Amino acid sequence: MNVMTATFGAGCFWGVEAAFMQLPGVIVTQVGYMAGTTDNPTYEEVCRGTTGHVEVVQVTFDPERVSYEELLRLFWECHDPTQLNRQGPDMGTNYRSVIFFHSPAQEAVARSSLVAEQQKPRHARPVVTAIEPAGPFWLAEEYHQHYLARHSNHFCH
């Protein structure tokens, strides 16, 4: 089986992960941190906003069952890409909207997707989503992995 990786920041990683877990063709999801200045940050450090990391979901998927374009469609739908450094009540640079690409092909598709998203009439404000090369992925603490699947009484935006 051929597998690929995609990484998205779209606010609180709990809700974003739950959305991607439901998509057929997604093999595994992991939540963690990307794009910061320190190695192996903790959740508390990331939330303080001093490390520059973003809460992300790393998606391992089978491209024969789900396309990268379909992952991007879900990414755009599961958050408000017009909110700068926040999603709902969650505020800070760690909640920013960002697509981390793992190849030149992913970058091209992501940039095309961004242009299409900016033209949608549902957005009253400009889309502020960044597109950046993927860097080191730091796995979040175990208690964050598949959080909403294990805690049915919690929710995320």
- Catalytically active residues, by annotation: 12
**Distance of alpha carbon 59 from alpha carbon 137, whole angstroms:** 12
* Amino acid type, 97: S
**Distance of alpha carbon 101 from alpha carbon 20, whole angstroms:** 17
Q: Is 125 exposed, middle or buried (0-12, 13-18, 19+ CB in 10 A)?
A: exposed
Task: Give the rounded distance of the alpha carbon of 45 from its chain centre.
Answer: 19
The phi and psi torsions of 29 (rounded to 5 degrees) equal -125, 150
CA angle 49, 151, 141 (to 5 degrees): 40
